[in-house]
Amino acid sequence: VFGIIRKVRNFFAKAWDVGVDDPRKIMHCLKVGVALTVVSLFYYMRPLYQGVGGNAMWAVLTVVVIFEYTVGATLCKSLNRATGTFLAGALAVGVHWVASQSGERFEPIILRSSVFILATSATFSRFIPVVKARFDYGAMIFILTFSLVAISGYRVDNLFNLAQERLSTIVIGGSMCLLVSMFICPIWAGQDLHFLVARNMEKMANSLDGCVAEYFKDSESDEESRKNFQGYKCVLNSKATEEALANFARWEPAHGNFSFRHPWKQYLKIGASLRSCAYCIEALNGCINSEILAPEFIKEHLSGVSTRLASHSSTVLKELAHITKTMRRSSTLDFAIEDMKSAVEDLHDALKSLPSQLEVDEKKTDPITQPTSIPLIEVLPLITASSLMVEITTRIERTI
């Protein structure tokens, strides 16, 4: 019994954390409640005494199904739903008409085979990547509406009435969702994506700093820095989130600093290059935890240069994050990049002078000297990656 109580308490503690972490989520829940209540008030005038099956229920259904967390997702779903319903309805009416013209014997055969063929092909279309990304929900609604209308035994003239009523209720439900989600504390997918990318840059900068500091300083790192240092792991797995957000952002109207055709795809490119940096940091991290320790004197030889390099490149990243956040060019970025480049040169030089040092000190060290160069060398691709990112971002600056 105590175990169950503990589990329940844990569950609520987690739920509480979710709410505290992001108050917008609570706002979203309230918005759903408001939209539902308003729609139900709207139908208070003509109560649903005709049955739950009455057409008014479609408005409620639309609100529940369509209302998503971000404005983009809601827009995407509502447009998909409207188009899917409309297309399928029109097609079903056409098939009905053809079937009714072809005599009593063929009518059910035509209707049922049309359902089979269209359901099969629409389901197949959901596997095609382009359709899956943008029109998945529309295809499902298409199948649903088409089979409902085609199977129903209505006459064609009745159908028009029905279609009109259904479409109007869906429009009411959908526009209610859009109004609430766009005008009461809107949560824009585009903005989320923007800040996600900026935050990821900051996390990478912190990780890079932490990683190199951890390697060269012997002092035990405290909990706080440890947590910062692990930030790159979020970046590793951010691909799915970024793609979903970019996909929804495409549907959103102009808001804040973002125009309608904001180049959302560029964010995906930045995200990809950030991830490739994160892979490097992951590899770097592997070296830190490796059992082979480099001799102290080499560490000292390279410590200064590489710490400087790391701090310069993390400055670049932070500067980039700042630029992305404020969406304003800053002149300090160019200086920071120059600093980073000269730091790369310094590291190169330090590496070049290493063999001659090795020769001098050879007698008093054990021969495993190579491992020391790993973290430094691995910083190199990281730097090329981050300078690549700089390029991409400057390209974006132009498009903004």
With CB under 8 A as the contact rule, the residue among 37, 168, 257, 326 that binds a copy of itself is: 37
Residue 40 found at the interface with a copy of itself (CB under 8 A): yes
Of 268, 195, 251, 244, which is closest to residue 71 (Cα–Cα)? 251
Gyration radius of the chain's alpha carbons: 30
> Considering beta carbons, is residue 91 or 400 the nearer one to a copy of itself?
91
Tokens of 339: 């600093």
Nearer to a copy of itself, 3 or 153 (CB): 153
For residues 336 and 319, the answer to whether their CB atoms sit within 8 Å is yes
Question: CB 399 → a copy of itself: shortest distance, Å?
Answer: 24
Question: How far apart are the C-alpha atoms of 342 and 212, rounded to whole Å?
Answer: 18
Q: Considering only 207-215, 252-260, 318-326, 369-377, which stretch makes contact with a copy of itself by CB under 8 A?
A: 369-377
Phi/psi at 255 (nearest 5 deg)? -155, 145
362 binds a copy of itself per the rule CB under 8 A:
yes
Q: Name the residue nearer to a copy of itself (CB basis): 244 or 400.
A: 244
Cβ 327 to a copy of itself, closest distance in Å? 29
Contact pick of 87, 90, 119, 396 for a copy of itself (by CB under 8 A) = 119
Task: Please report, as residue ranges, which positions from 322 to 351 form the binding site for a copy of itself (by CB under 8 A).
Answer: 351
Cβ pair 312, 339 in contact under 8 A: yes
Least Å distance, CB 67 to a copy of itself, is 8
DSSP secondary-structure letter at 175?
A: H
Task: Give Cα separations from 189 to 163, 170, 196, 295 (angstroms).
Answer: 33, 24, 10, 50
CB of 287 to a copy of itself, least distance (A): 7
Q: How far is the CB of 144 from a copy of itself (least distance, A)?
A: 4
β-partners of residue 255 are 258
Asked if 185 is part of the footprint of a copy of itself (rule: CB under 8 A), the reply reads no
User: DSSP secondary structure string, 193-262?
Assistant: HHHHHHHHHHHHHHHHHHHHHHHH--SPP-HHHHHHHTTHHHHHT-HHHHHHHHHHHTT---BTTB-TT-
- Enumerate residues 77-116 that contact a copy of itself by CB under 8 A: 108, 112, 115-116
Scanning 127-135, 187-195, 219-227, 304-312 for contacts with a copy of itself by CB under 8 A, the matching segment is 127-135
**Interacting positions 217-256 with a copy of itself (CB under 8 A):** 236-237, 239-240
**Among the listed residues 3, 5, 45, 47, the single contact to a copy of itself using CB under 8 A:** 47
Q: How far is it, in rounded angstroms, from Cα 156 to Cα 27?
A: 45
